[in-house]
Structure formats: C-alpha cells, structure tokens
Structure 1
Amino acid sequence: MLAINSDTIRPSLKLYFIMGSINCLKSPVEVLSEAITGGITLFQFREKGPGALMGQAKLELAKKLQKLCWEHNIPFIINDDISLAIAIGADGVHIGQDDEPASSMRARLGPNAIIGVSAHTLEEAQQALLDGANYLGIGPIFPTQSKDDAKEVQGTSLIEELRAKGIQIPLVGIGGIKIDNAASVIHAGADGVSVISAIAGADSVRDAATRFIREIEMNKLKSF
C-alpha cells in the first residue's frame, strides 16, 4: 500500500483514470501503461458491465494493474469490491450510495485506506464527510455512456454549492468529461476530473492523458 491518505489525496485527484477490461480497445495492461506515461495521477479498477471478468480472472487482472500502478507511485483504488481490495492490499475503494457507508469501509480497511464516495446531493456529501470519506466523486457532470446506472446529469452545480458552503473535502468531477469541457469542472472548484472512455477509448491513450493534464494544469492556474 502506498503512503497516500486524506492529507495527500488532493493532488492525486488531478487526472483520475477509471477503467476495466470492457472499456479497453486493447490489453488493459497496455492501456494503463500508456495512460501512466501520459500523466494520470490516480487509477480506479472498475470491472463491471456485460462481459466483465469475474473470480480468478478479475483477481489476476487487478494484481497486474496494481503492480503497474505501484511501480509508478500511482494510487490503486478498487470500485465497490471491498473483498478484492482486502485480498490484494489495494490503496482504497470507491463506493456509491447503494454500498456500505464509508464508516463501515474504514473499519474494515483501516485508517490509512483511501475511501472515496459518490455524492449527488448536498445531504449525501455531508453524510459522507461524517462517515470519514477522504474525497467525493461528484456527478454525473455531463451525459455519459460509460455507466449504465448513472444518475441524472447535474452539471457543476453541486461542486459549486459545496465550495460556496465552505466544504473543503477533495472533490473530483465525473461523468462525460472530455478535453473540451474539463475546464468548467476545474473552475467550479473540483480538484480534478475522472475519465473513463475519453482516455480508454482514445486512438492514443498516452496523448489523450497528456492533453487532459495540460488542460487541467492550465485551468488550475487560471483559478487562482
């Protein structure tokens, strides 16, 4: 497990890449390797949907991707599957509103685990804070086809509301984020953006990640 916690997670959210085997046009290991070369700062293994790997195949892929992340000091997060996270000693988990609360995840994973929570309302964000979340995933910001269970699109309004109320927990925007709309998420107050298809499905994964990093860094400077 990397030495990443709630005090150091904020910069790691800058370009948060989410991927599973079903999102890839080539080998997931190759896609992740190119994304790391392009500059991603955090990775979430999300193996869900029709055709997703299960059992031993999922475990073996998780281990390969985790090894690659750790070789480059990239935090490795697992979506929902706490049993898998415990089995391989992942850096943390990301959970939704239908999963166990962050407080339960914390009790099972320990004080140093990264726990991210998806929030769609102010009330959900406040509860996640009380439960000990390290960061919040806010969205979907824009329409997305990467998640079959995505909630209603809400733009950047919740990010703006949380910041206006003085809530300073690290925030990452998610849902339909592309190069041409990433700036609005950063200007709203997010610490970074989460991306699936705009990187995993790109002709050049490395170039796509590099373009995102440049766009985010340029607009972070404009926000100060």
Structure 2
Amino acid sequence: MEDEDDLTLDPGFATRFEPVDRGSCQLYLISPPDVGGDFAERLKAALDAGPVAAFQFRVKGVDQHEAARLAEPLRALCAERDVAFVVNDDMSLAKRIGADGVHLGQQDGDPREARALLGPTAQIGVTCHDSRHLAMEAGDAGADYVAFGSFFPTSTKEVRHRPEPSILSWWSRLFELPCVAIGGITPDNGRVLVEAGADFLAVCGGVWNHPDGPAAAVRAFQGILAR
C-alpha cells in the first residue's frame, strides 16, 4: 500500500495559494440546521462579539428556492461585516446567491468544477476527514482550504472519522494551504487543535448551544485562538 507520507503534489501546489499567518487561528462558524425564526439576530450577535472569519450556511432538506430565501439575510449580515459566506455542498446555490464560496464533501463534486462555476476568487473548501491523501488531492485540485475532522464527538452529523490533532501539525508543517479543524469543538477543548496547527476552528454547537448565548461563546473562543 502506498504510504501517504510519501505522496507528492504537483510543483505548483505550494505557490497557488496565499501564505497563511500561522501566528493566529480564526473562528469559522457553521449554521445550525434551523436558521429560521430569530436566527438572523443570533448570528448578528455572534458576529459582533468578536472576529469571525467565515460563516457556512448548512441547511438540509429544503429546496433551493427556500434555501436561497433563508440564506439571503444571513449573507447580507456577513457581507456587512466582511465575513466570508460559504455554502455547504451546493455549488449551484452558491452561484445563485452570490456566496463567497462553497464547502464540498467528498461526494459533492470536484473543486475544479466549483472553480469553473464560481470563478477565480471563490473560496473552495473540501472535507478530508482523517486522510492526508484526500487533503493532498484537494490541494492539487485547487481547493483554498482543507478540513479535517471530526476531532471530538458531535451531534451535528454521524461521525465515522476521528483524526488525531497530529494531522494538523503534519499539514501545517508541510503546506501553506490553510487547514480547518471541525467536529465537536468548544472553548474548553479547542486549544489543543490551535496548538497543533489549525488555521481555523469550525464550530457549530459550541456557539449556538452555548448556555450563555452565541455572543458569549464567540468571546470565549477568542481566548483560545492566539498562539
């Protein structure tokens, strides 16, 4: 079997992306399944509580028309605050609403296809689970970041992959392409991922289910992001 550590990238890999300031880690919010009701106000509170780099719109089980209706006010909130608005899975929805990018699971299409549809400035992320091989393939395909996880138990989705934090250290040591840590991350357990080399912590329940509200959660995360 091929050793993943021996895999090589094409010569352009390390030069296609802007270098990452690895002196800090940033917060990447992921929406809860229900973004109706007062969620726009909750998002506004979270974004205004501290620096947030990106927000991912992740809503399942609705048609694209309804998804676009739900996404638009949230996209506007993010645009006002210079927060990247990323659509989960759906390239065509990202194109329709003018999102800043798309996050692709392994079954959601190729980054090259997303780039052709969304253009050269779109932010394209790829879920790579616990696989160095998949991450390197994503980089070769033109992804702007790779995501590893789930690092901790989470109720957001079924967990089948549990990487060790060392995969973040390996990635950040060898490649400039940013890496995102995801899965069950809270202010209490996320520090180990920052220290391992995560460029972003992707957080869902750790913010939206915080007992003191999303603004308090974002403030709490700021305390663990500095390296």
Identify the TM-score tier after normalising by the shorter chain: 0.7 to 0.9
Alignment partner of 1:32 out of 43, 50, 71: 43
Indicate the structure (1 or 2) with the bigger Cα radius of gyration: 2
- 1:75-122 Cα distance to aligned partner (Å, 9 max, x none): 100001111111111000000111211111111111110000111211
More helix by share: 1
Inter-partner Cα distance in structure 1 for 2:18 and 2:84: 14
- 1:105-162 Cα distance to aligned partner (Å, 9 max, x none): 11111111000011121110110010000011111111111113x3322231321222
CA contact (8 A) 1:139 1:175 kept: yes
TM-score by length of 2: 0.84
**Deviation for aligned residue 1:195:** 0.3
Structure 2 residue 182 is the aligned partner of structure 1 residue 174: yes
Counterpart of 1:43 in 2: which secondary structure?
strand
CA contact (8 A) 1:77 1:93 kept: yes
Provide structure 1 residue ranges, at least 5 long, that are not aligned to the other structure.
none
Alignment partner of 1:41 out of 37, 53, 63: 53
Aligned to 1:215: 224
Aligned to 1:129: 139
CA contact (8 A) 2:25 2:198 kept: no
Q: CA RMSD in A?
A: 2.2
Alignment partner of 1:92 out of 88, 91, 101: 101
Inter-partner Cα distance in structure 2 for 1:35 and 1:100: 31
- 1:151-188 Cα distance to aligned partner (Å, 9 max, x none): 32223132122234x12210110001111111100111
Letter in 1 for 2:141: D
Provide structure 2 residue ranges, at least 5 long, that are not aligned to the other structure.
1-15
CA contact (8 A) 1:34 1:205 kept: yes
| Identity level (%) | 35
Aligned to 2:65: 56
Number of residue pairs matched by the alignment: 208
